[in-house]
């Protein structure tokens, strides 16, 4: 850890700081909420959709470094929120947030960050910070904002060092909804807002481990009636809803920790040949239920420009096709641990890590990436069509 004498002096006008657990102090200009927050520092390479990123529950207990320099310049609005529960605790950006210039903007990003209790830090060399994460891994850190520029650096370092980190942490139970919900909203169209899905079958029960709302909208768009249930819903409660299929959502934290209560339910659903579709955390826990293992990644995958190749025999008509996908995960399925009855269907072209599985002899599959495209490309909507189209 850097000694007090070797730390960089606080620049004049600095009202925000990011402090890594190794004692590194990064100064900047704070915005949004005041105070401090602890989390794991990651980076996201998306050029658009910062509001969706900040409200994605999968970013719970994380501080997002945006590699795109102009964050906040289109403002915020009520329609682009992915969830009302906890998302990222803060963000780090290169340029100072400028006044919004967009016809859909309803509130300045700085004001929205303050209203949603999220801390921002601008004026940081985000390229250098991203490179540090790539080389050394995602660090634990504290982000702090004081309009008066007053910080207890030693106390903040101690807080960063005292945080246990994401490995072994179940966050799904913290961000899931508290009660069952009959979901109605469909996809968004300019000038029309979000449509409403009809009360039709097939019926999908979606388990919310920290889901993005756009996933439910895409299930409705694909033709499903959707009922969303909390992460800890029992097998008996799920079956009482008479589902034609069960969806396993994305979410934050360590899949092995969440799997302690989720995997037994998923295993039971597999045993009765219930059609299953998992995204991100849901994909990882489907793999755990099938006998595979998950691992903590060095830096994770986060952004809307990740190439994924379809492999294996499950996607026979489109084998080797490459999709550009949206990703947000710091854990992954260890492909080396996949049992013989689990086929790898997708792989990352960045690092070869697992991005999809299908369980042989079962109507169950999952993908590591986010086919709901919010924000991001729309190459992967076929997954919703495959899942919903196979029900009945």
What does each of the 392 residues of the chain score in pLDDT, given as a tens digit? 555 656 889 999 999 999 999 999 999 999 999 999 999 999 999 999 999 999 999 999 999 999 999 999 999 999 999 999 999 999 999 999 999 999 999 999 999 999 999 999 999 999 999 999 999 999 999 999 999 999 999 999 999 999 999 999 999 999 999 999 999 888 777 777 787 776 778 999 999 999 999 999 999 999 999 999 999 999 999 999 999 999 999 999 999 999 999 999 999 999 999 999 999 999 999 999 999 999 999 999 999 999 999 997 765 556 789 999 999 999 999 999 999 999 999 999 999 999 999 999 999 999 999 999 887 788 899 999 999 999 97
Q: Is residue 235 part of a domain?
A: yes
3-state secondary structure of 31: strand
76 and 194 share one domain: no
- Which candidate in 280, 283, 346, 355 is catalytic? 280
Q: Is residue 305 part of a domain?
A: yes
Cα separation, 198 vs 184, in Å, equals 8
177 and 157 share one domain: no
318 and 216 share one domain: yes
- The yes-or-no answer on residue 355 being catalytic is no
Other beta carbons less than 10 A from residue 69's beta carbon: 13
Cβ 373 vs Cβ 212: under 8 Å: no
Domain end (from 106, 136, 162): 162
200 and 139 share one domain: no
Cβ 245 vs Cβ 222: under 8 Å: no
Helix or strand (DSSP H, E) at 23: none
Range of the domain at 59: 4-162
Cβ 334 vs Cβ 357: under 8 Å: no
157 and 190 share one domain: no
Q: Is residue 308 part of a domain?
A: yes
- The yes-or-no answer on residue 372 being catalytic is yes
3-state secondary structure of 255: helix
Query: How many domains would you assign to the chain?
Result: 2
């Amino acid at each position: 850890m850097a000694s007090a004498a070797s730390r960089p002096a606080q620049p004049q006008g600095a009202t925000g700081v990011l402090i890594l657990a190794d004692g590194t102090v990064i100064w900047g200009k704070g915005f949004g909420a005041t105070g401090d927050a602890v989390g794991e520092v990651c980076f996201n390479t998306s050029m658009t959709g910062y509001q969706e990123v900040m409200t994605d529950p999968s970013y719970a207990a994380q501080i997002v470094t945006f590699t795109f320099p102009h964050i906040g310049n289109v403002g915020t609005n009520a329609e682009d929120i992915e969830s009302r529960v906890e998302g990222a605790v803060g963000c780090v950006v290169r340029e100072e947030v400028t006044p919004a210039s967009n016809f859909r903007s309803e509130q300045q990003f700085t004001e929205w960050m303050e209203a949603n209790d999220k801390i921002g830090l601008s004026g940081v060399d985000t390229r250098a910070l991203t490179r540090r994460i790539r080389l050394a891994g995602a660090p634990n850190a504290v982000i702090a904002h004081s309009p008066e520029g007053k910080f207890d650096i030693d106390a903040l370092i101690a807080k960063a060092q005292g945080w246990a980190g994401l490995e072994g942490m179940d966050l799904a139970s913290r961000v899931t909804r508290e009660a069952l919900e009959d979901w109605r909203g469909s996809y968004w169209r300019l000038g029309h807002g979000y449509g409403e899905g009809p009360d039709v079958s097939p019926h999908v029960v979606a388990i919310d481990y920290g889901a993005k709302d756009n996933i439910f909208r895409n299930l409705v768009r694909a033709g499903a009636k959707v009922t969303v249930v909390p992460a800890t819903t029992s097998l008996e409660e799920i079956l009482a809803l008479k589902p034609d299929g069960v969806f396993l959502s994305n979410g934050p934290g360590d899949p092995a920790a969440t799997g302690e209560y989720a995997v037994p339910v998923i295993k039971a659903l597999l045993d009765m040949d219930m059609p299953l579709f998992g995204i991100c955390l849901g994909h990882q826990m489907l793999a755990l239920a099938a006998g595979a293992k998950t691992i903590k990644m060095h830096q994770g995958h986060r952004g809307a420009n990740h190439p994924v190749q379809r492999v294996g025999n499950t996607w026979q008509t489109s084998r080797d096709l490459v999709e550009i996908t949206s990703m947000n995960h710091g854990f992954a399925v260890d492909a080396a641990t996949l049992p013989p009855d689990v086929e790898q269907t997708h792989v990352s072209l960045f690092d070869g890590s697992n991005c999809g599985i299908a369980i042989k002899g079962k109507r169950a599959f999952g993908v590591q990436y986010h086919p709901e495209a919010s924000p991001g490309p729309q190459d992967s909507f076929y997954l919703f069509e495959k899942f919903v189209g196979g029900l009945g």
